[in-house]
Structures are given as structure tokens and as C-alpha cells.
């Protein structure tokens, strides 16, 4: 047993290495999310919460959905285990051939699709799009124009996500995590250049920004193509559809149910924004979008960083030792709870100050602040469950079960729609009703997946103690946060950013960690543990 465990640890990532990888991902993602908040702040200042902003955000959701479901979601989830297995069993050349086949197939399928959608959006009359109450025919026409520009972004961003997954498998986590920084820089540059170029009309600003974003999507590819090319991992893409029975065919065959299994949050977000646009008001899309952006900030730094870092290890352990996989999954789940629970409730406690500091302006007024704060609070309440569900979904994909998450998705999507409508019709929550429904569905998703994974791995001790420790520490943190706000509401934006946001966050982190130290939480012991890298890991790069 000792020899087997030692041999396995040399071949896979040790847990402390995964923590360092998650930290590396979080560091670059933190910079990306900071830039993302800057760009969102510039967007609200330029377009406010009107129908132009809502139309732009709705058009942006479509290529973003393609990225999350195909690039970072289903295709990556099917590709990483297959690539890992083939590299272990057949060698690097076979893995490179698989990558070339997958990339060629994606180009073959997505290129005509993107061109068809773009040309169709330009040729279709605006009458085919339901007109929202505000904006009317102009909003419908703008939606088609923006879709024609932004849907082209789907091709480069999906390819970038595939290559990023391969880099993660090879032990390189930092560079793929830095890729979104480039897109944010393009977005920010577009918003800063628009007035310099004389663009003052909201629709012109939206069209210009969309064009720059599509160009930025192609520029992103260089971040991952160059290091893979230097390492000799890139072969010429094999265009066309893969032959039946080939590893590439298996990847795409497994992708279909995975699309459903990984898409709950993404499709729910699209539904939320669509309902907000047509059932409430086009400007209400901004509230849902900003709530999702504020959710993604802690999500990317916490739950997603853990899930991305642990996925290669889960894929490796699935073929070696299911008991080890159970242990890795439980430790990753405890770490997810440890970092998402305080992030969720901390953002709820500081929500109003955060929204005011980031977004309040001449076009994003006092009337927009309150619904944004409530919409955000009810969405980030589901952050721990969203993180656990995504982690558990990756465990299913690691063991080769793509169907269970998909079946659950088939049930949860209509449930989400029904709950959306019921809450909209029976409560005064408005857009907050949509995000409350998303959080409830994330909770249901996590519970069912946690129970269903027992069919593949030995049952574990449960996460109740992890929940209890983190809940105690989070409660102590939340009791302190209101007491450490330093400046009044009428102070300058920078003073409020420092005194009512940054300082309480720093104090809250200190209180949270201190309580865990007093509780002697094993999560802290894992974080403190240091281990010399093994020979097998020495050749891999972070």
C-alpha cells in the first residue's frame, strides 16, 4: 500500500501542489476580476441601466454561453480525462494527435455556424425579435446587429479554452488563468477610446465595444497557443469530423450529455436575463448581469480555482484508486466550503457599499442601487452550493459518468423556469426573484449530485463538520463587519472604497482565520502543510 501510494503521488499532483495551483489560478484570476469590475464600472457610467446596456448584455450572453458550455465546460470536461488517460497509457504523441483532431473538429463545426449566425443576424428583419417595452424596434434591431458581431467571438474563445485545459493537464495553471486579462484590457480600451473617437451615442458605443471584443477574442489565443507550440504539443489541426471509434469521436460523443450537466448556472443566467429583458424591462438585465459579475468575482477566486486545479487529479485517480478519489473529493469539497461560505456572506453584508462604490454614477442612479443589491444578495447566497455542484460534476466526468449530471439538468432547467415565474408573479422581488430561483436550483443540484456520486466512489464521512466550522467562523466575521465601516455614506468614492469595503474585508478575513485557528480546523492544517516536490512533479510547471 505504501509503495502504491508513493508511486501514485509521484505521477499525479499532491494535494499541497493542487493548493498551490489553486492559489496561482486565484492570483491571476483576481487581477482579471479586478479589471472586470473596472470595465463593468465603465460600462455603467457609459450606458447606465437603460435599454442599450440591457441589449448589449443580452447579446454578449450568447457567445459567453458557448464559451462556458463548450470551451470551459462540456468539451473541456470530456477532453481533459481523455487527454490525461491517453498521455499516460499511449504517450505524448498520441495525446497531441487527439488534441489536433479535437481542435480541427471544433474549427470545422464552429466556423460555418458563427458565419451563418452573423450573416443571418444582419439579413433578418428586426420584426422577428420580440420588441421590449423600452427601446422597441430600435432595441430589436440593435440586438441583431450586436449578435452578428459578438457571435464570431465564440470560435476563438472556445479554442482558447480547449488549449487552456491542455495546459492545466500539463501542470501549467497560471498562464491559462491570465487569459481573461487580455479580454478585459480590450474591453476597457474600447470604453476609454470611444469618447476620444467622438462616439457619444449609446448605440454607437455598444457597437464599437462589441467589435473590439471580437478582435480581442482572437488575440487571446496567442496566450495559450505560443506556450503549447514552444513545448511541441501542437500538431496541424485535423479538419473534418472524427472517424467513429477514434479517441476524438469518443470525446465529442461524451460531450453531448456533459453540455446539459454543466450548464445549469449558465443557462439559468441566460434565462434570468431573457426574462428580465422581456418580462420586466430591458434595463433590468443590468441588475442581473451585475449580480452575476459580483458572484463570479468570489466564485472564480474560490470554488472555480479549486475545481480547475483538482480536476486533473480526479481524472488520474479515477483510473487508479477510487478510495483515493473519495479522499481528494472530500478535501476539495471542504476547501470549497471553507472559502465560499465567508465570501458569500461577506459580499451580502457589504453589498450596498460595493454596488455604490463600483457602479453608482450619473446614469446608474440611486433607483438602480437597491434592486441591484437585493438581486446580488440572493444570487451570492447560492455560491457555496454552486461551487460544490461544479466540483461534484467534475468528479462524475472523471469517472466517465456524463449522464447523471445531464439527467439532473433536464429536470432542473424547467424547475428553474417554473420557480422564476412563480416568484415573479407572487412576490415583489422583481429581478431578485430570478436570482433567488437560481440559488435554490444550485442547492438542489449540489444535494442530488452529492448523493449520486456514491454509486462510483466509497461513501465518505460527510461534510457536516466542515460546514459547522465554517458557519461559526462566518457568523463571527459577519458580526464584526458592520462595526468596522470607517466613513459615512456621503464620503468620496475612494474613501468609501477603502474605509467601507477594503478595510472591512481585511478585518473580516482576519476574524475568519482566527476563529478557524481557535477551532483547529483541518483545512488550515492542509494549507500550512509543506512538502518537497517529488521527482515526478519536478518536471511540471505551475
C-alpha cell belonging to residue 527: 494549507
Cβ of 504: how many Cβ atoms within 10 Å? 22
Report d(CA 443, CA 450) in Å as an integer.
11
Instruction: Single out the residue of 61, 81, 65 nearest to residue 73, CA to CA.
Output: 65
Instruction: Single out the residue of 499, 75, 23 nearest to residue 305, CA to CA.
Output: 23
Digit-by-digit pLDDT tens for the chain (542 residues) are 333 333 334 344 455 555 566 666 667 777 888 898 899 999 999 999 889 999 999 899 888 877 766 655 667 777 888 888 898 889 999 999 999 999 999 999 999 999 999 999 999 888 888 767 677 888 889 999 999 999 999 899 888 888 888 888 887 777 787 888 888 999 999 999 999 999 989 999 999 999 999 999 888 888 889 889 988 898 899 998 888 888 888 888 877 666 655 555 567 677 778 888 888 887 788 999 899 889 988 887 778 778 877 888 888 888 888 888 998 899 899 989 999 999 999 999 999 999 999 999 888 988 899 999 999 999 999 999 999 998 998 899 888 887 888 788 878 888 988 999 999 999 999 999 999 999 999 999 999 999 999 999 988 788 899 999 999 999 999 999 999 999 998 899 999 999 999 999 999 999 999 999 999 888 777 655 433 333 333 333 33
C-alpha cell belonging to residue 283: 434595463
3-state secondary structure of 134: coil
C-alpha cell belonging to residue 88: 499516460
Instruction: Single out the residue of 97, 144, 140 nearest to residue 119, CA to CA.
Output: 144
Report d(CA 24, CA 42) in Å as an integer.
28
C-alpha cell belonging to residue 63: 457567445
Give me the pLDDT at residue 312, please.
80
Give me the pLDDT at residue 540, please.
34
Q: Compute the chain's Rg from CA coordinates.
A: 23
- Among the residues of 319-453, which ranges form H helices? 322-349, 351-359, 366-380, 383-398, 403-426, 431-452
Give me the pLDDT at residue 261, please.
55
Give me the pLDDT at residue 451, please.
92
8 A C-beta contact, residue 165 and residue 79: yes
Q: Which residue is listed with cell 468570489?
A: 298
Give me the pLDDT at residue 353, please.
94
Instruction: Single out the residue of 254, 268, 298, 305 nearest to residue 444, CA to CA.
Output: 268
Q: Which residue is listed with cell 474585508?
A: 505
Give me the pLDDT at residue 534, please.
36
Instruction: Single out the residue of 230, 185, 172, 227 nearest to residue 25, CA to CA.
Output: 172
Q: What is the pTM of this model?
A: 0.78
Amino acid at each position: 500500500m505504501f509503495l502504491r501510494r508513493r508511486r501514485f503521488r509521484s505521477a499525479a499532483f499532491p494535494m499541497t501542489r493542487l493548493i498551490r495551483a489553486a492559489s496561482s489560478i486565484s492570483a491571476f484570476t483576481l487581477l482579471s476580476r479586478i479589471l472586470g469590475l473596472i470595465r463593468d464600472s465603465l460600462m455603467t457610467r457609459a450606458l447606465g441601466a437603460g435599454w442599450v446596456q440591457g441589449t448589449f448584455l443580452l447579446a454578449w450572453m450568447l457567445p459567453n454561453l458557448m464559451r462556458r458550455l463548450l470551451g470551459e465546460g462540456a468539451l473541456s470536461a470530456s477532453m481533459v480525462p481523455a487527454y490525461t488517460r491517453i498521455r499516460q497509457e499511449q504517450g505524448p504523441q498520441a495525446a497531441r494527435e487527439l488534441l489536433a483532431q479535437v481542435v480541427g473538429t471544433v474549427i470545422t463545426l464552429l466556423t460555418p455556424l458563427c458565419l451563418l449566425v452573423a450573416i443571418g443576424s444582419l439579413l433578418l428583419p428586426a420584426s422577428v425579435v420580440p420588441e421590449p417595452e423600452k427601446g422597441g424596434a430600435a432595441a430589436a434591431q440593435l440586438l441583431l446587429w450586436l449578435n452578428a458581431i459578438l457571435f464570431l467571438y465564440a470560435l476563438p474563445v472556445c479554442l482558447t479554452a480547449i488549449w487552456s485545459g491542455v495546459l492545466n493537464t500539463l501542470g501549467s495553471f497560471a498562464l491559462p488563468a491570465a487569459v481573461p486579462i487580455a479580454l478585459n484590457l480590450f474591453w476597457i480600451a474600447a470604453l476609454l477610446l470611444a469618447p476620444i473617437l467622438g462616439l457619444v451615442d449609446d448605440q454607437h458605443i455598444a457597437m464599437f465595444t462589441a467589435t473590439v471584443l471580437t478582435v480581442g477574442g482572437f488575440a487571446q489565443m496567442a496566450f495559450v497557443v505560443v506556450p503549447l507550440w514552444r513545448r511541441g504539443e501542437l500538431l496541424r489541426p485535423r479538419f473534418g469530423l472524427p472517424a467513429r471509434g477514434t479517441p476524438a469521436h469518443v470525446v465529442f460523443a461524451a460531450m453531448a450529455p456533459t453540455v446539459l450537466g454543466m450548464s445549469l448556472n449558465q443557462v439559468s443566467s441566460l434565462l434570468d436575463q431573457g426574462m428580465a429583458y422581456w418580462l420586466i424591462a430591458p434595463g433590468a438585465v443590468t441588475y442581473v448581469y451585475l449580480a452575476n459579475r459580483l458572484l463570479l468575482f468570489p466564485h472564480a477566486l474560490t470554488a472555480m480555482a479549486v475545481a480547475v486545479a483538482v480536476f486533473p487529479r480526479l481524472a488520474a485517480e479515477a483510473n487508479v484508486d477510487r478510495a483515493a478519489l473519495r479522499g481528494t473529493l472530500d478535501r476539495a469539497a471542504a476547501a470549497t466550503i471553507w472559502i465560499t461560505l465567508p465570501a458569500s456572506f461577506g459580499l451580502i453584508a457589504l453589498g450596498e457599499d460595493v454596488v455604490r462604490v463600483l457602479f453608482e454614477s450619473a446614469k446608474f442612479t440611486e433607483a438602480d442601487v437597491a434592486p441591484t443589491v437585493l438581486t446580488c444578495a440572493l444570487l451570492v447566497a447560492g455560491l457555496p452550493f454552486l461551487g460544490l455542484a461544479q466540483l461534484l460534476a467534475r468528479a462524475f466526468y472523471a469517472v466517465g459518468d456524463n449522464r447523471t449530471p445531464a439527467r439532473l439538468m433536464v429536470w432542473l432547467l424547467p424547475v428553474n423556469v417554473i420557480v422564476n415565474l412563480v416568484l415573479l408573479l407572487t412576490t415583489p422581488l422583481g429581478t431578485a426573484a430570478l436570482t433567488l430561483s437560481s440559488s435554490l436550483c444550485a442547492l438542489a443540484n449540489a444535494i442530488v449530485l452529492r448523493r449520486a456520486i456514491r454509486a462510483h466512489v466509497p461513501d465518505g464521512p460527510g461534510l457536516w463538520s466542515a460546514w459547522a466550522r465554517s458557519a461559526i467562523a462566518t457568523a463571527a466575521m459577519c458580526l464584526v463587519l458592520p462595526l468596522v465601516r470607517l466613513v459615512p455614506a456621503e464620503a468620496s468614492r475612494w474613501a468609501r472604497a477603502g474605509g467601507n469595503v477594503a478595510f472591512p474585508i481585511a478585518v473580516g478575513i482576519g476574524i475568519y482565520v482566527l476563529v478557524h485557528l481557535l477551532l483547529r480546523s483541518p483545512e488550515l492544517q492542509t494549507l500550512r502543510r509543506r512538502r518537497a516536490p517529488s521527482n515526478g512533479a519536478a518536471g511540471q510547471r505551475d
